[in-house]
Structure 1
Amino acid sequence: MLFLHARRRWAVLTVFVLALALVPFSPLAARPAYAATAVPGDPLTGSGAVTRSVLTAATLAGGAATGTVTNDAFALPGAAAAPTHTFEGTLTLKGVARAGGFRTIKDTYGYAATAALRHLPPVSIDLVQNGSHVIPAVRGLQITGSAYWNLIVGGGRAWNENGDGGRTRVSLPFALVERNANCVHNGLLAFLFDGGTISQVRYQITNETCEYFQFDMWGQVGAAYSRHTVTGDTGLKNAYAAEVANRLPTKPISALSTDHPDAGIDTSAFGSGITASALSTYGVSYGGVNYVGACQTRQGAYPYCNQMVLPSYSLAKTMFAGIVLMRLTQVYGSSVPSQLIGDWVGEADTSAWAGVTFQDTANMATGNYSSRAFEADESGSGMTAFFDAEAYGPKMTAALAFPHSAEPGTQWVYHSSDTFVLARAMQNYLVSKAGAGSDIYRWIRDQVLVPLHLSPDVLTTERTGNSATGQPFGGYGLFYTQDDIAKVSRFLNADGGKISGVQMLDPTMLADAMQQNPANRGLTTSANATGTTYQYQDGLWARQFTPADNPVFTCPVYVPFMSGFGGITAAMLPNGATYYYFSDNDEFGWSAAAAQAYKLPATG
């Protein structure tokens, strides 16, 4: 950890100016920092009197990164003054393929033996500035061309500190995304700039939601700043202002007990049952408020908690495949769930898939499997071949390789590959209705996700071929923020699939999947290692709670939930509350938290 103590002001400025003067960039006429709409919370009103000993101006001028530092060094300080300079143009990091340090925390498959995995991919991003907010022109998943890493960049901040010699300081959140997989590694970067120079860029990664590959990464590299007007800059600024304004109000998780004192909630139950070092974040969405826990990393709190990128893994089976099937049914009629997979996926026009419907596939009941044991196929070699395949052809071949073992609709066997087949079938069905060029993910994005005011992170998805035009994975490959999880859970739960009063999802299918129809609980799963069985329907799990689990459940209660690999859960209580957490130590203990959330009075 590197700590540089304050020096006399003239010495700092002399070193810093000399270093920055070596990195000129092209002139650009002065532009206003604010777009037509200011981001809520601007302008900054601090004095700039910030006491700083980490990532000082001298350090960014020409220091070296010998390890990770406290995340506070990248955070907007309370005394931050409004920025005097406006960043607009392209930021490119130099020499990242060889720069920096790497420390392995966990590496189940020996990934770190590949040197290129221990460094950043190419980073070149267009940025605009709206007041104190620095906004990437491209949001969501960016394909970098790296053989290992893709990139997501969030909105950052710009401000002035008195010790920076009149230059403006920028901090940005970013995340590395494993190519052809759903692991996310959250990081931060920082630099200084003014009207003619830019400093080096410090970066570090100290958090992930990834069960099998965990590490710290850090470095300090040179940068190029090409100043130019970014296409659509005013629209980008206004869109970001709207994005921030549309986020749900947040409160700390402790406020649940003070906001609802009569409920008798023990807020210590939230986040319990999960190893603290493995917990990325958690929260309770209730009554239009997102009550959030901290976003902890190995270097303290993540300063952009509301923009920490969280992987979906199998939450996508609900938030993509399940929602798409319900939306297609609402738009095109009740015959959609009974459409045959073999009629819409040419590769599946085989005897093994004869009679298998869209709904059978959404229910993990295709009848094609090797083992009935709880998720035995999901962790077997056949599924490894499916996950490893990047191109569409090999991926579909692996998805269809399981032998026919039961009649469709009769036996639950969990397969992420089945959701991929379903996503392809729904893609082709949509084309038949909406025309060539239709894309199933862009369709549900425009139909549901954008009207829900979800973040740009969830408006893209991983696809075959590591491209923006391949077949969406369907059962994994999405990315969320805390706000996204709270909004989608509320949409499915308290709002009953409505947006602004308009029914967006087939109400019968949604009611069944949300366990609101006692006559249709879905399929019963195989028993897991503890002997527990669940219900499963249209991409949603459900667990029954009784007074034996906790006296708060005075009668049997079914709780539908989304579940993802490694330790991800969003449990939607019938009182309208949702408890969610993202972790990566294979821990799925949330019953204590569910009991506390169930104490809240019913809403919605």
Structure 2
Amino acid sequence: MKKVAKYLLLVFLVYSCQSRPSQWNGPVLGQPRNHLTVAELVEGETQPLIDMSYFAKPNWGTQATTPFSGTLLLQDTELSFPKEKDYYPGENIFPKLELDFISHRGELIPLLKERISTRHQSKSYWDVVVGTGKVWHEKEDGAWSRASFPLTLTDRWVGQARNCVATFVYKTDAVSNVCLQCSQETADIDDKQLGNISGLLPATYQAKQFADADQIVEQQDLEEARRLPTRPLREIDANKEVAGYFDKMIHTNAPTSLGAVWMNGKLYVHPPKTRHGLYPYPDNMRHGLYSVTKSMAGALALMYLEERYKGSVFEAKITDYVPALADHKGWQGVNFSQTLNMVTGNVGGESPDLLFSTLVSAESAEEAINRIARLGDAPEAPGEKFNYASTNLFVLSYALQQYVEEKEGKNVHYWDLVREHVLVPIGAGHFTLLHTIETDEAQAIPILAYGALPTIDEAAKIALLFANEGSYEGHQILNRERVKEAFGESKWKGYSTGNDYRGSNYQHSFWSKEIDTRKCKTKATYMLGFGENYVVFLPSKVIIFRFLDEHDLDIDELIKRVENLKSSCREE
């Protein structure tokens, strides 16, 4: 386990050479299909890497002749995953799973949409998140109906996301093998983690009726109705300036997993490309955003609790809630706000050795916090100097858990409060976040420094909550003053980063810098994570989303192109 974690720490290293998947020009699905036929799926014939259109419902597909209601059972299965380096233990194994689905109006609805932990029943390296798919019938399939669904593979240590699609054919009491293909990811290019995964998974089917089927369908309908309105990016980007940026080659032919622009009350989405065509389930595509988590989850939690407890949380002292740091010289006087803002005055950073020895290899929250307690005191006093360190966010997570238990009672989890009172109300209840590894998983707490796995809808809803000063439908969910501080809209302007290459200012986990748009200088405030994943807020009220894993820190050109669509500059 610790060997796995140590290798994973290469997520923070500098780019190194690797093989680069070439441009995909393979054929798309035609009628009749020549891949993933009934015979091939039933007999278990190995499939080549093919265009993702083969996994999607075609325009000639008709209503499924048989509804699906029951459990799809999958066993540990070896995958095809060509790599330049050795596998981490279980990295080439698809995990043993029992997946419950029902079909309704052509949709294949999973009963569980949260992250599925597999470590207690499988030798696999992967946990799984399943999304809503489709069921249909094709004329050539005879008595068989056909199904496919989106599936994300994610590790338990850092939070990469591999976007896969699975497909199979089925009858009333039988299923074929399940064909899986993963052709896109947000993972670590430095660790040579980019690559295609495929496999045929032996499957069995237990047909059953679920007592709560009506409620499941009702909830599915509600979730779909609450999705943000989306439109093709081309509607506002006729000259393809922004699309051209998202499509540019970096190291592979599909570097950007997803690009989108929120403008004028709509989310304009560029078609999400994989190395084998368009991803067929863009609404369910999950993205490993690494340090974007610090803002999307860390600031979100702290600002919610600041509102819940009437302004008492930001100034609370870390040593009052983290016993392991109570006698640590460097943590004396450090408050929750300084911890979020990376000005604790303690030793910390992003070096592989430090992160491995503190967070990634720790096998419990207590082990991680005790390791952090062994780090030294920096020369600066709390609040004096910006020093970016993921360990700070875990200290904050640990402290928030103790703070909430003091307020609410033993075993009340702060992230459960955030989910119930923030995420569910805004329609992002399935937002997935990496937690600590614990013997009792019920005691796990968020790492908070990395590990967010949102869909674009969830990411946009959280971003809009910040953009609307923490208010949703007339209810103040996040503390308004703290949100304004994060965007530099108060007397407090945050901390200078000393001209850090990532941005010039840092306020409550949000970076900022000035951009010369050729028309004027404007301020961009943004979430930023390894890869480089960005959520950018502009004064025009436009929000840009760029999810990437191929290292492009210079987003000035993207911002300039978006500014051409809607300017932040005041008209003279």
Residue in structure 2 matching 1:74, options 13, 36, 55: 55
From 217, 235, 238, the counterpart of 2:218? 238
Shift of the alpha carbon at 1:501?
A: 1.5
Instruction: Sort the Cα spacing of 1:324 and 1:561 in 2 relative to 1 into closer, same or farther, 3 A.
Output: same
Residues 50-107 of structure 1 show CA distances to partners (whole Å, capped at 9, x for unaligned) of: 531111112112142143222111011112111121111110124x33x342212xx6
Q: What is the aligned partner in structure 2 of residue 535 from structure 1?
A: 505
Aligned to 1:379: 351
**Does the aligned pair in 2 maintain the 1:271–1:282 contact within 8 Å?**
no
In 1, Cα distance between the equivalents of 2:459 and 2:256? 16
Whole-Å Cα distance in 2 between the matches of residues 61 and 242 of structure 1? 36
Q: Which moved more, 1:300-309 or 1:357-366?
A: 300-309
Q: Find the aligned partners of 1:526 and 1:111 in 2 and give their Cα distance.
A: 40
SS in 1 for 2:108: strand
Is 1:221 aligned to residue 201 of structure 2? yes
**Residues 502 and 111 from structure 1, CA distance in 2 versus in 1: closer, same or farther, beyond 3 angstroms?**
farther
Name the SS of the counterpart of 2:91 in structure 1: helix
Amino acid at match of 2:330: A
**Residues in 1 aligned to 2:513 and 2:146: alpha-carbon distance in whole angstroms:** 49
Q: Does the 8 Å contact 1:65/1:218 carry over to 2?
A: no
Stretch of structure 1 that moved more, 238-247 or 169-178: 238-247
Q: Does 1:394 align with 2:375?
A: no
Partner of 2:546 in structure 1? 581
Q: Give the number of the structure whose alpha-carbon radius of gyration is greater.
A: 1
Aligned residue runs from structure 1 range 83-162, under 5 A = 83-94=64-75, 96-97=76-77, 99-104=78-83, 110-112=85-87, 114=89, 116-145=90-119, 146=122, 148-162=125-139
- Counterpart of 2:293, as a letter, is A
How big is the shift at 1:335?
A: 2.8
Residue 171 of structure 1: how far off its partner (Å): 0.2
SS at match of 2:99: strand
Distance 1:468 1:299 in 2: 39
Q: Which structure 2 residues correspond to residues 225-374 of structure 1 after superposition, within 5 A?
A: 225-257=205-237, 267-270=243-246, 274-275=250-251, 276-350=253-327, 351-369=329-347
Matches within 5 A, 1:433-444: 433-444=407-418
Q: Distance in 1 between matches of 2:477 and 2:201?
A: 48
Deviation at 1:601, TM superposition (A): 5.8
Structure 1 residues 272 and 502: alpha-carbon distance in aligned structure 2, compared to 1, 3 A threshold: farther
1:374 is matched with none
Deviation at residue 460 of structure 1 after TM alignment: 5.1
Q: Which amino acid aligns with 1:103?
A: P
1:591 paired with 2:556, answer yes
What is the alpha-carbon distance in structure 1 between the residues aligned to residue 31 and residue 270 of structure 2?
Answer: 27
CA contact (8 A) 2:243 2:270 kept: no
Q: Distance in 1 between the 2:115 and 2:242 partners?
A: 38
Q: For each residue in 1:102-153, what CA deviation from the matched residue of structure 2 results, as whole angstroms up to 9, or x when unmatched?
A: 212xx6xx45264x31121112211111221111111121101245211111
Work out which of the residue numbers 492, 511, 522 in structure 1 matches 2:466: 492
Which amino acid counterpart does residue 326 of structure 1 have in structure 2?
Answer: M
| Structure 1, 275-284 or 576-585: larger mean CA deviation | 275-284
Q: Write out the 4+ residue segments of structure 1 that deviate beyond 6 Å after TM superposition.
A: none
2:490 corresponds to 1:511: no
Alignment check: 8 A CA contact 2:69 2:102 kept: yes
Contact 2:174 2:204 (8 Å CA) reproduced: no
Cα 1:93–1:54 change in 2 (3 A) is same
Deviation at 1:571, TM superposition (A): 0.6
Structure 2 unaligned spans of 5+ = 1-23
Deviation at 1:326, TM superposition (A): 1.1
Percent identical among aligned pairs is: 26
Q: Which residue of 2 aligns with 1:476?
A: 450
Q: In structure 1, what is the Cα distance between the partners aligned to 2:553 and 2:454?
A: 19
TM-score by length of 1: 0.83
The alignment partner of 2:561 has SS state of helix
SS, match of residue 593 in structure 1: helix
Distance across 2 between alignment mates of 1:177 and 1:293: 24
1:60 maps to amino acid: L
Output the CA distance in 2 between the equivalents of 1:454 and 1:492: 14
What secondary structure is seen at the aligned counterpart in 1 of 2:244? helix
Distance 1:380 1:117, change over 3 A: closer
Deviations 1:325-350 (A, max 9, x none): 11111121223211100001111112
Q: CA deviation at 1:265?
A: 6.9
Q: Where do 5+ consecutive residues of structure 1 fail to align?
A: 7-48, 371-376
Deviation at 1:597, TM superposition (A): 2.6
- Shift of the 273–165 alpha-carbon distance from structure 1 to 2, 3 Å rule, reads closer
Give me the whole-angstrom Cα distance separating, in 2, the residues matched to 1:253 and 1:540.
Answer: 26
Residue identity matched to 1:112? Y
Aligned mates of 1:84, 1:273 — CA distance in 2:
43
Q: Per-residue displacement from partner, 1:273-293 (whole Å, max 9, x unpaired)?
A: 855432211111122211111
Kept in 2: contact 1:524–1:533 (CA 8 A): no
Counterpart amino acid of residue 462 in structure 1:
H
